[in-house]
Amino acid sequence: MTSFMGQLSVNQGGVVMLVVGLTGGIGSGKSQVSRWFAEHGIVIIDADVLAREVVAKGSPTLKKIVAKFGDWVIDEAGELNRRAMREHVFGSVQALMDLEQITHPAIRSRAKELLRAAQSPYVILVAPLLLEASEAGLANLCERVLVVDSHESLQIERASQRDGQTPERIQNIMANQLSRHDRLRQADDIVDNNGSLDDLYLKLEQLHQKYLAMAGVN
């Protein structure tokens, strides 16, 4: 169970909302799960989308990155050169920390803005590294953590097919994430995604009804 749950979020209309943090290992099926909730009228806030938004061309966050690392981080179009940045921080813990100290507060601030504007009974905040210490402090915005769980062999198969990467590369990514055991240990809710889509959707419907009840709708 999570021990870092924050205060209930209040939107601009003064309505108290339940915020559910959605996470899971690579290839576990987070996108399928978040799409299902979105199709049922639930606001989705995706940390990966926010991470791209906050470093958009001309943004204050991008300017801070340039000031810290130099003009080389900008490509010819004035955008963040993501490949160069990834290569730079890959071999340097300090560089990664410097980058995160700039981007993570911006991601968290944007997430809070979207939570205040949300109009659904509850909100799903998707963050692949929600439970890892480096994930922008987003866990503190969540009252519950929902983990999408799959067998590791299935994760590798799905991620390899989706991203066109080798199984070895997927395994390296998994090695830098929480172990399946540790992720499940910190979950408030777990959805098993080792079966068919019909099975998954049935489980999500049950969770949906549970969250609606917790939000005071049912």
Last residue of a domain, one of 79, 104, 119: 119
Percent of the chain at pLDDT exceeding 90: 65
Considering its fold, how many domains does the chain have in total?
2
Rounded CA-CA distance 38/186 in Å is: 24
pLDDT digits (tens, 9 = 90+) for 95-140: 988 999 999 999 999 999 999 999 999 999 999 889 886 556 899 9
Do 71 and 171 sit in the same domain of this protein? no
Q: Which of 12-16, 45-49, 61-65 has the lowest mean pLDDT?
A: 12-16
Say what the pLDDT of residue 2 is: 45
Say what the pLDDT of residue 90 is: 78
Do 98 and 196 sit in the same domain of this protein? no
Range of the domain at 88: 52-119
Annotated binding site for ATP: 27-32
C-beta neighbour count of 168 within 10 angstroms? 9
pLDDT digits (tens, 9 = 90+) for 156-196: 888 888 777 788 888 887 877 788 899 999 999 999 999 99
Rounded CA-CA distance 136/51 in Å is: 10
Say what the pLDDT of residue 165 is: 76
Specify if 189 maps to a domain. Answer: yes
Count of CA atoms in the C-beta half-sphere (13 A) of 43: 17
Do 24 and 96 sit in the same domain of this protein? no
Specify if 4 maps to a domain. Answer: no
Specify if 218 maps to a domain. Answer: no
Specify if 47 maps to a domain. Answer: no
Specify if 8 maps to a domain. Answer: no
Do 135 and 167 sit in the same domain of this protein? yes
Last residue of a domain, one of 93, 119, 145: 119
Last residue of a domain, one of 119, 141, 157: 119
Rounded CA-CA distance 70/72 in Å is: 5
Burial zone of 89 (CB within 10 Å; 0-12 exposed, 13-18 middle, 19+ buried): middle
pTM for this entry: 0.85
Annotated binding site: 27-32
Do 114 and 70 sit in the same domain of this protein? yes
